[in-house]
Structure 1
Amino acid sequence: MENTANNKAYFHLPGLFELYDLYSVFLPLYREHREYFYDWCEIASVYGAPADCIWGGGRAGFGECEVEDVLALMNKYGISSRLTFSNSLLKSEHLTDRKCNALCELFAVSKGVQNGVIIHSDLLLEHIKNHYPNFYFVSSTTKVQTDFEQFIKETDWSVFKYVVPDFRLNKLYDKLDTLSQVQKDKVEFLCNECCSFYCKDRKACYENVSRKNLGENCPDHICTAPDARDGYRFSKAMKNPGFISINDIISTYLPLGFSNFKIEGRGLGSAVNLEFLLYYLTKPEYQLTVREEIYLDNMLDLF
């Protein structure tokens, strides 16, 4: 059995901007009552992009809260903030966007914790590397790298601290175990994807979001999966062949030497994301306690 630093699972959570109210209630609870939560896991980062962010991708930007408040909250709890700049269709003229560069200027200033950027475009990667060198970089799952050898090459690229593979590679245990420990430490698995395992339109869907974030007037991408009209259901995601359960993390991924896990959830609302926090972080005997603490907070509007 190979061991990572402390044989812990490090979770990367969604909703840096749109779930600020949820995290402002949850994080104090997480710190003050650590006994409610699994001792083998930690919150490593929270990712997202604000509304009207043209460098955004994967999901349309959400959240109207003050970015300074977001950064202050994450700094207070020593959690890395990740800007989701995974737009795949950027051109040179987009690199001068004032709002996105201002975000970089603000989040590049680290106070005890290094912040990161989730990225797709090589053009944007070079821009941020040259102008804001304090960030670390995460290779985005929006690249839809379903070829295992292509994914391996991505882990060997020194510019990336983490690489998020396509969720359809999640259960290729024999191949995954051939990675070196250095490579394994860079892999960040997407745990709770609800998209059809057999979908062939995933890249087109992401490109549609990129176009919308750029302000293009284009029709919505129409998903052809049989149950797409139901939207996201955690119960449905759990039946996905690529789903990574708590038991999978404990019994398979940690023993194999993997330690980083990404939770999908941007745009799904506070109530659904609370269920993710309960399932992945909270001991079963305390889940009701945590749920009640969150729901009874009058400052939080769960939806």
Structure 2
Amino acid sequence: MSQDRISSGKTTVYFHLPGLFEFYELYKRFLPLFFEHREYFYEWCGIGSIYGAPAGCIWGGGRVGEGDQNPGEVLALLEKYGISARLTFSNSLLREEHLADRKCNALCAMFEKSGKTKNGVIVHSELLLEYLKKKYPGLYFVSSTTKVLTDFDRFTEEIDREEFRYAVPDFRLNKALDQWDTLSERQKAKVEFLCNECCFYGCRDRKRCYEAVSRKNLGEDGPDHCCTAPGAGEGYRFSRAMKNPGFIGAEEIRSVYLPMGFSDFKIEGRGLGSALVLEFLLYYMTRPEYQIHVREEMYLDNMLDLF
């Protein structure tokens, strides 16, 4: 079954969703709803990809929280609906000896051979990018937001690189609309905005935070990163993310960014609970009058207790 592209050109938004392995059970229920009950969802939205990595991948980076679902089952689910899978291999601290990792190479080989959809890898390391380009040319590549590109000119250089199909800017560039409007159509087609970041807007430690995750995935000792931003102790709160100056809401996507020529938007959520990820899917993709229908179908049990 191929993905139903509701409309063409710049009239459809494609969301890139979190938790490829971590939220497999969630997507196993959600994807049939999305494709079989289109009346539940906004006609202007589609699913561009689902991203993530299994537990124990040393090439992994970004957020912690990857699952250990069988990769073959994950790939089969996405192939059934014609959705691209993206491996989140955004570790920024890789060295030459890490490139031979058997698990990560096996995953790339498996996802490259997918016959129905073209799959990708989200990368940070230039070393890894050059390796993957040569060894797995059937994959496409996405420049990771973990590069923390907050300078617009520097980010423009990133989207002009031929090896990247998409590039994700730091969320603090999201509202630079006058600058975004100067891009060509080709450049706009490669921008993928991170919508729902909860990180403190004035944070100066974002890169160190990502490096700490990269170091942890490599199993190396190093200083832990303790976030001291306001509200950090509460963890992720969608209500707080909505107040972030870089937040991009559903209506803003439809009425501002899409008419400007931007169609790709990333929703973060790895390392969170599936219930919260469902709230993201409801908010960004589901018509308000049908949100209760989606919840009922997802929960399946009307006697469900939360506590």
Which interval holds the TM-score relative to the shorter structure? Answer: over 0.9
Q: Secondary structure at the match of 1:189?
A: strand
Correspondences of 1:3-152 after superposition (within 5 Å): 5-152=9-156
TM-score by length of 1: 0.96
Q: What is the identity, as a one-letter code, of the residue corresponding to 2:36? A: E
- For 1:297 and 1:12, the matched residues in 2 are separated by 28
Offset at 1:111? 2.0
Structure 2 residue aligned with 1:242: 246
Does structure 2 retain, via aligned residues, the 8 Å contact 1:19–1:63? yes
Residues 146/276 of structure 1: CA separation in 2 closer, same or farther (3 Å cut): same
User: Aligned match of 2:219 in 210, 215, 221?
Assistant: 215
The CA distance in 1 between the partners of 2:305 and 2:168, in whole Å, is 31
CA-based RMSD: 1.7
Q: State how far apart, in whole Å, the 2-side matches of 1:108 and 1:162 are.
A: 18
1:169-184 counterparts in 2 under 5 A? 169-184=173-188
Deviations 1:238-259 (A, max 9, x none): 0000000011101110111100
In 2, Cα distance between equivalents of 1:6 and 1:140: 23
Q: Deviations over 1:190-241 (max 9, x none)?
A: 0000000100000000000000000113343100102100100000000000
Partner of 1:285: 289
Answer whether contact 2:10 2:258 (CA < 8 A) is retained. no
Write the deviation string for residues 4-45 of structure 1: whole angstroms up to 9, x where unpaired. Answer: 714110000000000000000000111111110011010010
Distance in 1, matches of 2:125 and 2:257, equals 29
Between the aligned partners of 1:59 and 1:175, the Cα distance in structure 2 is 29
Query: Cα deviations across residues 96-127 of structure 1 (Å, max 9, x unaligned)?
Result: 00000000010011222100000000100011
Shift >6 Å, 4+ stretches:
300-303
Q: Provide the C-alpha distance between the structure 2 equivalents of 1:88 and 1:267, rounded to a whole number of angstroms.
A: 19
Which residue pairs with 2:278 in the alignment? 274
Which of 165, 186, 209 lines up with 1:161 in the alignment? 165
CA distance in 1, matches of 2:94, 2:270: 21
Q: Aligned letter for 2:284?
A: Y
Q: Secondary structure in 2 aligned to 1:236?
A: helix
Cα distance in 2 for partners of 1:189, 1:12 equals 10
Counterpart residue identity of residue 182, structure 2: T
Say yes or no: does 1:206 pair with 2:210: yes
Deviation of 1:142 (Å): 0.1
Change (3 A) 1:91 1:160: same
Q: Name the aligned partner's letter for residue 190 of structure 2.
A: K
* Residue 260 (structure 1) aligns with: 264
| Structure 2 residues not aligned, in runs of 5+ | 1-6
Conserved? CA contact 1:194–1:240, under 8 Å: yes
Q: Structure 1: where are the runs of 5+ without partners?
A: none
The question of whether the paired residues in 2 share the 8 Å contact of 1:295 and 1:302 is answered with no
Q: Would you say the 8 A contact 2:13–2:46 is kept in 1?
A: yes
Asked whether the equivalents of residues 4 and 259 of structure 1 are also in contact (C-alpha less than 8 Å), the reply is no
**Are the counterparts in 1 of residues 28 and 77 from structure 2 also a CA contact under 8 Å?**
yes
Q: Which amino acid counterpart does residue 225 of structure 1 have in structure 2?
A: A
Specify the SS of the correspondent of 1:268.
Answer: coil
**2:15 touches 2:48 (CA, 8 Å); kept in 1?**
yes
